[in-house]
Amino acid sequence: MGAADKAENTAGKLKGQAKETAGKATGNKRLQAEGKADQAKGDVKQAGEHAKDAMKH
């Protein structure tokens, strides 16, 4: 996994956590859902990068 990819995936997860927290604080269910989706997307991308690395070895 490249450092840039890892940083991008982590940033996406952090952005999602921030959205989810803001949604909880304001009672905004849509924002909470977007945050969870962003986190899931970051997890999937990170898993894909790990799979690519495993194939190389």
Secondary structure (H, E, C), 2-50: CHHHHHHHHHHHHHHHHHHHHHHHHCCHHHHHHHHHHHHHHHHHHHHHH
Q: 7: Cβ–Cβ under 8 A, 6 or more apart, which residues?
A: none
Q: What is the pLDDT averaged over residues 25-29? A: 97
Residue 1 has pLDDT above 60, yes or no: no
Residue 35 has pLDDT above 90, yes or no: yes
Share of the chain above pLDDT 70, in %: 96
pTM of the model: 0.78
